[in-house]
Amino acid sequence: MVADMTDVEQRASTGVLPGWDQVDRLVVDAYGYARADRSGQVADYIPALAEADPEWFGVSVAETDGGLHHAGETGVEFSIQSISKAFVYALVCEDLGHGVVRDRVGVNNTGLAFNSVVAIELNDGHPMNPMVNAGALATTALIPGQGPKERWEAIREGLSRFAGRALELDEEVYRSEAATNQRNQAIARLLDSYGRIEGDPLAVVDVYTKQCALRVSAADLAVMGGTLADGGVNPVTGERVVSAEVCRDTLAVLAASGLYERSGEWLFEIGLPGKSGVSGGIVTVSPGKAGIGVFSPRLDSAGNSVRGQIATAFLSRALGLNVFASAVHN
């Protein structure tokens, strides 16, 4: 695959991306390669998610210099779900700083499912990280604002700045999840019993449910990831959304726990910070180089898009993105 030494050096994580044409070709190749896989199941524990077409598939890359690449259905919109956790965390860090958020929410992997209650009990009632539901609820509660309405607006606006366009609520998904999320309500009440959540726990769950129901496309996810890759500056709009330090902290947390209890396997295969959601999206960040957005609704048993993982692994290798690799590998 690799022609000469110059190519090898360029394609290590510390190097640069190949030229625009080559990235464009490899995005199409990644799409074609992953599309053949039909394994996994569409999520149905939130009733409205079960309506997704299992064949939908899109792969987008947003380079930090603003170059964009798309293959497949990269404009199809879906609810962002858990991927919102990454960006809400970044917004809270921007407001409250590294130390406060680390102490209040934690940064360690739980090794347990995203909606685990056991993880809270095992840790003396303290949430363990912002990428699983307990820590994500605690993080949402820290968003500055007078009451739930203002907090929700701050989240919607903040995530829209990452995407570079006004994101909207998927009312159907929101209502469907709000009617069936007793488990998240239980998690919020449990945290409240330990004094670990700010404000009315059920109002926090409601804002969290809305943030999960924001509509994005694979193309949006690539730009949102590209903003984290670009030290907090949106590579398309040029707007600074968060500081470079906040991006660094957020990416560290994603590397440790962005794919829940599968985060170790993800890091081993792909070697990049990423975040998945149960509607089938995954955002991946190659610091300094690019954001990758993928969408395909069939999931593995931990709730991660199967084709999304295959396409991202392909791109990590072909573009030399693995942050642990000092030379290109096959």
Residues that are catalytic: 82, 85, 208, 260, 278
Q: Which is nearer to ligand GLN, 225 or 320 (CB)?
A: 225
DSSP state of 321: -
- Give the shortest CB-303-to-ligand GLN separation in angstroms: 5
- Give the shortest CB-136-to-ligand GLN separation in angstroms: 8
Determine the residue with CB nearest ligand GLN. 82
- Cβ neighbors of 98 (< 8 A, separation 6 or more) are 245, 249
Q: Which is nearer to ligand GLN, 74 or 140 (CB)?
A: 140
Q: Which residue, among 42, 39, 122, 120, has the nearest Cα to 81 in the 3D structure?
A: 42
Antiparallel, parallel or unpaired: β 290-295 and 58-63: antiparallel
Q: Which is nearer to ligand GLN, 116 or 322 (CB)?
A: 116
Q: Is 247 helix (H, G, I), strand (E, B) or coil?
A: helix
Identity of the amino acid at 273: P
Q: Which residue, among 290, 270, 289, 271, has the nearest Cα to 224 in the 3D structure?
A: 290
Q: Does 273 bind ligand GLN (CB under 6 A)?
A: no
Residue 17 CA to residue 235 CA, distance in Å, equals 15
Helix H or strand E segment including 52: none
Q: Does 158 bind ligand GLN (CB under 6 A)?
A: no
DSSP string across 71-126? EESTT--EE-TTHHHHHHHHHHHHHH-HHHHHHHH-----SS-TT-SHHHHHTTT-
Q: Does 176 bind ligand GLN (CB under 6 A)?
A: no
Q: Which is nearer to ligand GLN, 91 or 323 (CB)?
A: 91
DSSP state of 164: T
- Give the shortest CB-206-to-ligand GLN separation in angstroms: 12
Q: Does 114 bind ligand GLN (CB under 6 A)?
A: yes
The token pair that represents 251 in the structure block: 């990416």
- Give the shortest CB-301-to-ligand GLN separation in angstroms: 12
- Cβ neighbors of 146 (< 8 A, separation 6 or more) are none
The token pair that represents 71 in the structure block: 């293959």
Q: How many CB atoms lie within 10 A of CB 38?
A: 10
- Give residues 54-83 in contact with ligand GLN (rule: CB under 6 A): 81-82
- Indicate the length of the chain as a whole number: 330
Which of residues 278, 283, 294, 311 is near ligand GLN by CB under 6 A?
278
Which of residues 303, 312, 317, 322 is near ligand GLN by CB under 6 A?
303
What residues does 138 pair with on adjacent strands? none
Which of residues 115, 257, 286, 305 is near ligand GLN by CB under 6 A?
115
Which of residues 74, 184, 234, 263 is near ligand GLN by CB under 6 A?
184
Q: Does 277 bind ligand GLN (CB under 6 A)?
A: yes
Q: Which is nearer to ligand GLN, 81 or 227 (CB)?
A: 81
Which of residues 90, 163, 190, 212 is near ligand GLN by CB under 6 A?
212
Residue with the two structure tokens 């081993």:
268
Q: Which is nearer to ligand GLN, 31 or 114 (CB)?
A: 114
Site for ligand GLN, rule CB under 6 A:
81-82, 114-115, 133, 177, 184, 212, 277-278, 303
